[in-house]
């Protein structure tokens, strides 16, 4: 189990974007006998395949011995996390005051507290796709000799007006731009008669560096996907090394444990499925999110290769409607420094096991799937039988706030779904806190779940 947690820490340290998560997940899957479904013509019991959707979502299937129309056991997690995305015209230079500072222009992604992202070391990851189809990977900020990036802030000595604003306003979204460089050379200003600096030189210099290193031009960034994330590796937190501090644990802590449980497991009569989805932090939108035909299209590909003769469309519908799913997503951990936000009798705590959240959503359960008690009882029984520690919780007090998961998108197919994940302290902060014990219990939980018959 200690090795599991260390491998998890390495995984989230190396894979800070959904694209990197998919790449690494495919490598892990292949080592465990999974094949690309595009290279498979027929499927039978015992076969293992994966479907890669645009390099940003991944679905794995382990084909069971029984009729797939009887349903599948599904683990569903998401691999996107809050961050700062570069805009399509990402680079600009301060020309008005001629400071020579060059910025990366950003648009925040997902729910963040904007003030948490200033004065922080940031790394830049992503891809730039050229018109000839060439994809260039960008990764700057996590290697020992790499430079990092940073969003500047006002010094406290002159921040009186800023500090009067509410926290949601004192860092404006349009000011979340990261410093990329500073040009010109100071010598230019000591020789005003022969000042060689002209506005735009700084940006041109940056573009030259990028062209020399990556072979890309400014116009190529119109077809780029660049993400600013915290620089640095996941670390043990605390003297006793019982906690993990890392970026993107919502929801890669559930994604990784689901993935490992899936590839180490073996399907029985029911087909096992693991979903690593994109876009959950912005409503599961787009072609790679769960609010699309991502899952039913994937099941259709499997059914087609099982050579189902009679009414394959009905088989697909029944397979989904009869499935059982754990929506493997995190829950907010009780914070003893802010106890007034929580109903202590219905809160999750660090180091007490995985969390059942019967309904997420907000206010009057808006946006929740609200799991049925018969299914919860079935899962409880399986966890008791496998000595898995679990707890029951809501996110916070009623009407304090709320949040959603991918559960209600899966429930639209008619399947039974329960939110079941890891408790996180400082959720959606650049650095989040989980318990090593809870990571272990999540893995045990997911491995036990996919054995349900």
The reported pLDDT for the residue numbered 116 is: 97
At 195, is the pLDDT very low, low, confident or very high (cuts 50, 70, 90)? low
Residue 405 has pLDDT above 70, yes or no: yes
Question: What Rg, from alpha-carbon coordinates, does the chain have?
Answer: 24
Residue 205 has pLDDT above 90, yes or no: no
* Domain 83-230 sits in CATH 2.30.250.10: yes
Mean pLDDT, residues 356-379 taken together = 87
The reported pLDDT for the residue numbered 308 is: 85
Paired residues of 365 in beta bridges: none
- pLDDT tens, 30-73? 999 999 999 999 999 999 999 999 999 999 999 999 999 999 99
**Candidate from 246-260, 324-338, 358-372 with smallest mean pLDDT:** 358-372
Residue 187 has pLDDT above 70, yes or no: no
Which residues touch 308 (CB under 8 Å, ≥6 apart)?
Answer: 68, 315
CA angle 98, 103, 108 (to 5 degrees): 145
Residue 106 Rama label (left phi>0; alpha psi -120 to 50; beta): beta
Task: Compute the distance between CA of residue 157 and CA of residue 14 in angstroms, rounded to an integer.
Answer: 38
Paired residues of 58 in beta bridges: 52, 276
The reported pLDDT for the residue numbered 188 is: 54
Diameter of the chain measured on Cα atoms: 85
- pLDDT tens, 280-325? 999 999 999 999 999 999 999 999 999 888 899 999 999 999 999 9
Under DSSP, is residue 334 helix (H, G, I), strand (E, B) or coil?
Answer: coil
Task: Compute the distance between CA of residue 178 and CA of residue 170 in angstroms, rounded to an integer.
Answer: 17
Residue 96 is classified by DSSP as: S
Residue 200 has pLDDT above 90, yes or no: no
- pLDDT tens, 175-186? 999 999 987 655
- Contact criterion met (CB below 8 Å) for 354 and 75: no
Segments of 335-414 assigned E as strands: 354-357, 361-362, 390-392, 402-403
The reported pLDDT for the residue numbered 194 is: 57
Listed by start position, the domains of the chain span 2-81+247-449, 83-230
At 147, is the pLDDT very low, low, confident or very high (cuts 50, 70, 90)? very high
At 192, is the pLDDT very low, low, confident or very high (cuts 50, 70, 90)? low
Per CATH, the number for 2-81+247-449 is: 3.40.630.10
Mean pLDDT, residues 112-137 taken together = 96
Tell how far CA 332 is from the center of its chain: 16
Task: Compute the distance between CA of residue 344 and CA of residue 352 in angstroms, rounded to an integer.
Answer: 14
The reported pLDDT for the residue numbered 199 is: 56
Paired residues of 230 in beta bridges: 122
Residue 361 has pLDDT above 80, yes or no: no
CA angle 141, 143, 144 (to 5 degrees): 110
Under DSSP, is residue 17 helix (H, G, I), strand (E, B) or coil?
Answer: coil
Segments of 130-223 assigned E as strands: 135-140, 178-182
Give this prediction's pTM.
Answer: 0.94
Paired residues of 74 in beta bridges: 273, 325
Average pLDDT, the chain: 93
State yes or no: cis peptide before 99, omega within 30 of 0: no
The reported pLDDT for the residue numbered 327 is: 95
Under DSSP, is residue 18 helix (H, G, I), strand (E, B) or coil?
Answer: helix
At 191, is the pLDDT very low, low, confident or very high (cuts 50, 70, 90)? low
Paired residues of 326 in beta bridges: 75, 418
Task: Compute the distance between CA of residue 301 and CA of residue 336 in angstroms, rounded to an integer.
Answer: 48
Helix and strand tally (H, E) in the chain? 10, 22
Task: Compute the distance between CA of residue 343 and CA of residue 331 in angstroms, rounded to an integer.
Answer: 14
């Amino acid at each position: 189990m200690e090795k599991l947690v260390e491998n998890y820490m390495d995984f989230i340290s190396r894979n800070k974007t959904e694209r990197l998560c998919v790449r690494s997940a495919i490598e892990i899957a292949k080592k465990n006998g999974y094949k690309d479904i595009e290279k498979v013509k027929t499927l039978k019991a015992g076969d293992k395949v994966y479907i890669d959707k645009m390099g940003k979502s991944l679905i794995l299937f382990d084909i069971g011995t029984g009729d797939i129309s009887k349903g599948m056991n599904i683990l569903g997690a998401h691999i996107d996390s809050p961050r700062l995305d570069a805009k399509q015209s990402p680079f600009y230079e301060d020309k008005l005051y001629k400071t020579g500072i060059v910025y990366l222009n950003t648009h925040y992604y997902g729910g963040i507290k904007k003030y948490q992202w200033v004065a922080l070391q940031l790394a830049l990851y992503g891809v730039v796709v050229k018109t000839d189809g060439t994809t260039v990977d960008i990764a700057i900020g996590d290697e020992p000799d790499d430079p990092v990036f940073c969003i500047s802030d006002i010094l406290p000595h002159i921040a009186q007006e800023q500090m009067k604003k509410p926290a949601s306003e004192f860092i404006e979204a349009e000011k979340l731009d990261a410093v990329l460089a500073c040009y010109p050379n100071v010598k230019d200003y000591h020789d005003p008669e022969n000042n060689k600096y002209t506005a735009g030189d700084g940006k041109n210099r940056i573009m030259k560096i990028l062209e020399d290193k990556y072979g890309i031009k400014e116009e190529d960034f119109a077809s780029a996907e660049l993400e600013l994330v915290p620089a640095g590796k996941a670390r043990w937190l605390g003297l006793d090394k019982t906690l993990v501090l890392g970026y993107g644990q919502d929801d890669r802590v559930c994604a990784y444990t689901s993935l490992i449980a899936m590839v180490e497991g073996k399907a029985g009569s029911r087909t096992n499925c693991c979903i690593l989805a994109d876009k959950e932090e912005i409503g599961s939108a787009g072609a790679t999110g769960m609010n699309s035909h991502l899952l039913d299209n994937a099941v259709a590909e499997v059914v087609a290769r099982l050579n189902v003769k009679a009414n394959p469309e009905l088989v697909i519908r029944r397979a989904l409607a009869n499935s059982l799913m754990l929506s493997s997503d995190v829950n907010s951990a009780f914070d003893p420094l802010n106890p007034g936000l929580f109903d202590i009798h219905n809160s999750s705590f660090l180091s007490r096991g995985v969390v059942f959240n019967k309904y997420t959503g907000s206010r009057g359960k808006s946006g929740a799937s609200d799991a049925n008690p018969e299914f919860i009882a079935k899962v409880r029984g399986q966890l008791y039988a496998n000595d898995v520690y679990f707890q029951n919780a809501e996110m916070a007090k009623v009407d304090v706030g709320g949040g959603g998961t991918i559960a209600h998108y899966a429930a639209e197919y008619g399947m039974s779904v329960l939110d079941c994940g890891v408790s996180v302290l400082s959720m959606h902060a650049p650095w989040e806190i989980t318990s090593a014990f809870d990571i272990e219990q999540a893995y045990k939980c997911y491995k036990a779940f996919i054995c349900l018959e």
